[in-house]
Amino acid sequence: MGTVSHAGPAVSRALCALDSACPSRNFSIVIRALLLLLALALPASAQSNGSATRPVSGSFNGDQAIRGESAFKAFCASCHEPTFHTGEQFRFSWYGRTLYDYFRTVKTTMPEDNPGGLSDDDYVRVITYIMKLNGFTPGADSLTSDSLALKRIRIGDSTRSP
């Protein structure tokens, strides 16, 4: 019993002996508290960066992809076979990048004879069609041309992330 009542002071004396800055112990406590906050904050921000990306699958809906196929036929198919946008070449060029990269590239360079010629909504629809061709699955969400939202969506899959 006596050991219990003396343990507190004994431990704090021991800590004090180890702590070279014992006279300014309050200061050292503040530093420790700040370090603890940092330790808590850093993983949290790293985590929020990690969760700042979502997969392509589920980021668009089936209706968009169907309309995208029509838009593709109207605006792209005169120069491109759908298969031009799939397979190893697609994975090599685009896996690890975001839907924003894809959207911006297509919007600023295609159709080759009229870059930027489609509405943002049609570019988004065409892109959802191409994503579906690449095996990504539609979900309930509707994809928009909002650049921040597009930047959060990473092309790839769990086994081939960057």
- Chain positions contacting ligand HEC, by CB under 6 A: 75-76, 78-80, 85, 93, 106, 110-113, 118, 126
**Any idea of the CA torsion for 76, 79, 82, 84, to the nearest 10 degrees?**
-130
**In one letter, which amino acid is 23?**
P
Residue nearest to ligand HEC as judged by C-beta position: 76
Residue closer to ligand HEC, measured from CB, 85 or 154: 85
List the one residue out of 77, 78, 100 whose CA is nearest residue 155.
Answer: 100
Please state the closest distance from residue 113 (CB atom) to ligand HEC, in A. Answer: 4
Contact 126, 72 (CB under 8 A): yes
Residue closer to ligand HEC, measured from CB, 10 or 79: 79
Residue closer to ligand HEC, measured from CB, 78 or 159: 78
List the one residue out of 161, 2, 128 whose CA is nearest residue 57.
Answer: 128
CA 67 – CA 123 distance, rounded (Å) = 11
Residue 98, beta-bridge partner list: 154
Residue closer to ligand HEC, measured from CB, 14 or 77: 77
Please state the closest distance from residue 70 (CB atom) to ligand HEC, in A. Answer: 12
Please state the closest distance from residue 127 (CB atom) to ligand HEC, in A. Answer: 7
Please state the closest distance from residue 132 (CB atom) to ligand HEC, in A. Answer: 13
